Structure 1
Amino acid sequence: MKSARIAYVQWPEGLLPQGDAWEQIRRAVSAANADLLVTNEMPFGTWLPEQPQYDAAAAQRWVELHEQALGELSRLDVGAVISSRPVSFGDRLANEAFVVEGDRYRPIHHKKFFPQEPGFFEESWFVRGMEGFHCVDIGAVRVGVLLCTELFFNEHARAYGKAGADVIVAPRASGTSLYRWRTAGSLAAIVSGACFVSSNRHGTAPRGQVFGGVGFAVSADGQPIGETCEETTLRIATVDLEATRVQKQEYPCYVRELAQSS
């Protein structure tokens, strides 16, 4: 495989894995002929972390909805799907990044960095769970995952590049302000020599949190490739796998890090 077609999206707040909205998504994914689909963060149901207090019963329903949705994701006409979902972990939840290839499910890592502010009380809902930040091989494509806020911890993007990532993907649930996300995505690509792809939630949650949509992609040298919008909710980034490997020999990727002091 010399190149890979990566689909990125904006999916609606409150999405269910059945009904008209899901059928439209299923048809769009099939028409895209993609090798990999990147969804937004925890894409199904309403966004519970806009509630400041953890609700165990609501959390369990959210876990069960995403569990049920795995079957639908596995039946999409695409090579593989990268997404995330809430899973039970201790007395709260973990946000588990995963890849589905047909009937095969692989966990990737649990989200490590959480905001705690109106609309995003994630520290109240989630724990850091299992270790992470390892690349995953999906066919010929090596992928690193940064879940939403993890994107701003740029050391992980650089480490993914050193580990040979062709693509860094960032499923997210973010608001209407985009400049920080675009900047962080471009920087992740530049320091890693990997293409960057992000998908986002879109719409208004029950308590008023507005999600801005705009999935976007950046080339391995930091140049914008494209963005989704309300009229085009799925787009494709074609990743030249040889070019990403060459880019890792270019500035600033080749620059050696300082030795750790003892």
Structure 2
Amino acid sequence: MRVAFVEWPEALEANSAEWDGIADRLIAARPDILITNELPFGHWIAEQPAFDAEHSQQSIDAHEKGLEALAGLGIPAILSSRPVRAEGLLVNEAVAIENSVVRPVHRKHYFPEEPGWYEASWYVPGSDGFTASAVGGLTVGVMLCTDAMFNEHARSYGRQGASLIAIPRAAGTATENWLTAGKMAAIVSGGYVVSSNRVGRSRNGTVFGGTGFAFAPDGALLAVTNPSDPLQVIEIDPERASRQRSEYPCYVRG
């Protein structure tokens, strides 16, 4: 099964010339599953320290158009995320797109609150837990960006039989910790771990570091994206993940 992951530019807009180039590359790559970066469309709104209703609506609108454009690519399964109104703020909701149908699969739980990433001021935590979903014929777990820093959830996904853990990100340029988090998520879950990230500089100067990555079930690094290769595709074998879950440390019960 072919899984694609990416680094997509800040302020990406559906139906733009930039999007058309991205879409052409995706269609040519013919993945079975695409994992996008976190909140991939429109400006990064959480760099502002205070919630703003107008900007939040602009993000909602950009993602409605963006998810429609994703659904039109003809890729069998896509994992992405979108902003949804909740409790006077937003939730960051991971979605699966299959057969042009968009359905929620997870809501982000953990949010930073620092320059460039004032997410706790914009989003309320999800309350739906970390439950694996059937996506593209696989059992899949999703952790949205900072969720991946809490490794107990990757372990839980492994125990639920997840062959693939997707980590859409909108992270900065310090990528070493993210690579470590991805590697450990693979080691403790026994699943493939695949992450896409935003790249570029926002209108207020927040810099995103790209470097999408994929790890095998044993923690081996398979591939990373870079400016010259912003789209990567790996082959995954669900049986390999199943076998790895019987190996150390996955079998250890606590």
> Which secondary structure state, in structure 1, belongs to the residue aligned with residue 5 of structure 2?
strand
Q: Which residue of 1 aligns with 2:86?
A: 89
Distance in 2 (CA, whole Å) between partners of 1:129 and 1:150 is: 11
Of residues 115, 138, 142 in structure 2, which corresponds to 1:141?
138
Q: Which residue of 2 aligns with 1:29?
A: 26
Displacement after TM superposition at 1:77 (Å): 2.9
Alignment of 1:95-114 (within 5 A): 95-114=92-111
C-alpha distance after superposition, 1:152-176 (max 9, x if no partner): 1100000000000000010000011
Alignment of 1:159-178 (within 5 A): 159-178=156-175
Of residues 176, 179, 200 in structure 1, which corresponds to 2:176?
179
Displacement after TM superposition at 1:110 (Å): 1.1
Quick check: 1:75–1:102 contact (8 Å CA) kept in 2? no
Quick check: 1:41–1:200 contact (8 Å CA) kept in 2? yes
Quick check: 2:98–2:136 contact (8 Å CA) kept in 1? no
Distance in 1 (CA, whole Å) between partners of 2:67 and 2:39 is: 12
Of residues 208, 213, 218 in structure 2, which corresponds to 1:221?
218
> Which secondary structure state, in structure 2, belongs to the residue aligned with residue 244 of structure 1?
helix
Quick check: 1:63–1:86 contact (8 Å CA) kept in 2? yes
Distance in 1 (CA, whole Å) between partners of 2:126 and 2:181 is: 25
> Which secondary structure state, in structure 1, belongs to the residue aligned with residue 78 of structure 2?
strand
Distance in 2 (CA, whole Å) between partners of 1:25 and 1:195 is: 24
C-alpha distance after superposition, 1:144-197 (max 9, x if no partner): 000000001100000000000000010000011111000010000000000000
C-alpha distance after superposition, 1:205-231 (max 9, x if no partner): 011000010101000000000001111
Question: Percent same amino acid among aligned pairs?
Answer: 47
Distance in 1 (CA, whole Å) between partners of 2:67 and 2:253 is: 41
Q: Which residue of 1 aligns with 2:198?
A: 201
Displacement after TM superposition at 1:254 (Å): 0.5
Distance in 1 (CA, whole Å) between partners of 2:136 and 2:202 is: 36
Structure 2: segments with no counterpart, 5+ residues: none
C-alpha distance after superposition, 1:18-60 (max 9, x if no partner): 1111011111111111110000000001101000011011101
Q: Normalized against structure 2, the TM-score is what? A: 0.98
Alignment of 1:54-93 (within 5 A): 54-93=51-90
Q: Normalized against structure 1, the TM-score is what? A: 0.95
Alignment of 1:13-28 (within 5 A): 13-28=10-25
